[in-house]
Amino acid sequence: MTLLFSPLSIRSATFSNRLWVSPMCMYSAIDGVVQEWHHTHLAQFASGGAGLIVAEATSVTPEGRISPRDTGIWNDQQQDAWAPIVQAIHDRGSLAGIQLAHAGRKASTWWPWADQQGSVAEADGGWRTVAPSAIAFEGFAEPVALDAAGLERIVEGFRTAAQRALDAGFDVLELHGAHGYLLHQFLSPLSNRREDEYGGSLENRARLLLRIVESVRDVAGSDVPIFVRISATDHAEGGFTVAEAAIVAEWAMERGADLIDVSSGGLVAHQKIDVHPGYQVPLAAAVRQDGRIPVAAVGLITTAEQAEQILVEGSADAIFAAREWLRDPHFALRAAHALTADVQWPSQYERARWR
């Protein structure tokens, strides 16, 4: 048995393998409601052998969406639309997760293939964005700095969304604290210039994230795994650092998180990243702290052998992949074939198992 295809248990969840589908935005929702596209898109990964499928960044409030086409889970209609997708994933033998998110100053933007880019004006269906401080992301509209009441609405939004996700049947809750979105904006001194208890020191900059972890754990109880995705570095001078990320990860674990999903970047447009296969794996290893904190690695992980080696060398406990699943929705089955791992295949695909 390979490490990649060995089971992993976290709280009451047991993942059949450690090759998972990372959340990827599809920009195909209507009023935050998932469509048939999402059903087919996510269910196919379960047929392809994924141990866990985490649905895309799903906003906890209307103004938290990255674009007007992003998914949400702040009302009954959205919750009800997610439920059959979760059931389809379960029916095919995988576990289902959802990434709960708020885009902050990077909200109200055009989707990638729109005719224009940048912020969506209110006249075109956009909205005024919020952030830790009134500092715009390069090329986007200036946000409004959140006041005390606004912060409480954010915490309550995550809490309520977590309950809705559980009611829809999701097995795992992931909190999005990466890629320059709201919780990451609070963590980084490049976007957080507050002078209250949510700004300044690392403890203060992490306060909102940690409050949300505690609130979501209260909703989730003792059985449901909670993941936290972080950007372990901003790839920019004066930004959030790997050393700080390791500290925040430990604090999050103390407050109820179970695994840290380690990514990087996304906070500023002037970031400088050396992108190459596995380029974020060393960040995961640093946050993992020699096995003290469970982590998942992500970032141009494209082959079975590469994924297996990451686990063997102790850099991570699980693997999230994204683009490779888009290229091949049966990535896990192909990886099992490449590693000659003896895993359960769908009966319909059994003829492709060995030859």
Reported as a single tens digit per residue, the pLDDT across 181-224 is 999 999 999 999 999 999 999 999 999 999 999 999 999 999 99
**Which of 165, 182, 186 minimizes the C-alpha distance to 174?**
165
Residues 216-245 pLDDT 10s:
999 999 999 999 999 999 999 999 999 999
Give the model's confidence band at 30: pLDDT under 50 very low, under 70 low, under 90 confident, else very high.
Answer: very high
**Which residues, in sequence order, are CB contacts of 203 under 8 Å at separation 6+?**
none
Cβ(168)–Cβ(73) under 8 Å?
Answer: yes
d(CA 350, CA 328): 17
pLDDT at 290: 84
Model confidence at 248: pLDDT above 90:
yes
**Which of 54, 53, 52, 58 minimizes the C-alpha distance to 33?**
58
- Segment 283-308 shows an average pLDDT of 96
d(CA 196, CA 348): 59
Give the model's confidence band at 90: pLDDT under 50 very low, under 70 low, under 90 confident, else very high.
Answer: very high
Strand partners, 97: 54, 172
- Segment 290-317 shows an average pLDDT of 96
- Segment 115-119 shows an average pLDDT of 95
Residues 162-176 pLDDT 10s:
999 999 999 999 999
What is the overall mean pLDDT for the chain?
A: 97
Instruction: Fill in the amino acid letter for 311.
Output: L
Q: What are phi and psi of 171, to 5 degrees?
A: -95, -25
**Which of 269, 301, 257, 303 minimizes the C-alpha distance to 282?**
301
In the set 27, 181, 279, 349, the catalytic residue is 181
pLDDT at 272: 94
Residues across the chain: 355
Strand, helix or coil for residue 252 = helix
Token digits of residue 212: 């949300």
Token digits of residue 176: 């999005």
H helix intervals, 168-206: 182-187, 202-205
Model confidence at 127: pLDDT above 80:
yes
Strand, helix or coil for residue 180 = coil
Model confidence at 350: pLDDT above 80:
yes
Q: What percent of the chain has pLDDT over 70?
A: 100
pLDDT at 1: 79
181 classed as catalytic: yes
Residues 319-343 pLDDT 10s:
999 999 999 999 999 999 999 998 9
d(CA 250, CA 248): 5
d(CA 339, CA 221): 37
Give the model's confidence band at 124: pLDDT under 50 very low, under 70 low, under 90 confident, else very high.
Answer: very high
pLDDT at 330: 97
d(CA 261, CA 279): 14
Instruction: Fill in the amino acid letter for 181.
Output: Y
Domains and CATH numbers, the chain: 8-352 (3.20.20.70)
Radius of gyration of the chain (CA): 19
Token digits of residue 224: 């449901």
pLDDT at 98: 98
Q: What share of the chain is helix, strand, coil (3-state, %, to 5)?
A: 35, 15, 45
d(CA 122, CA 68): 11
Give the model's confidence band at 354: pLDDT under 50 very low, under 70 low, under 90 confident, else very high.
Answer: confident
Cβ(130)–Cβ(105) under 8 Å?
Answer: yes
Q: Model pTM?
A: 0.96
Cβ(177)–Cβ(128) under 8 Å?
Answer: no
Model confidence at 355: pLDDT above 80:
no
Instruction: Fill in the amino acid letter for 178.
Output: A
pLDDT at 291: 85
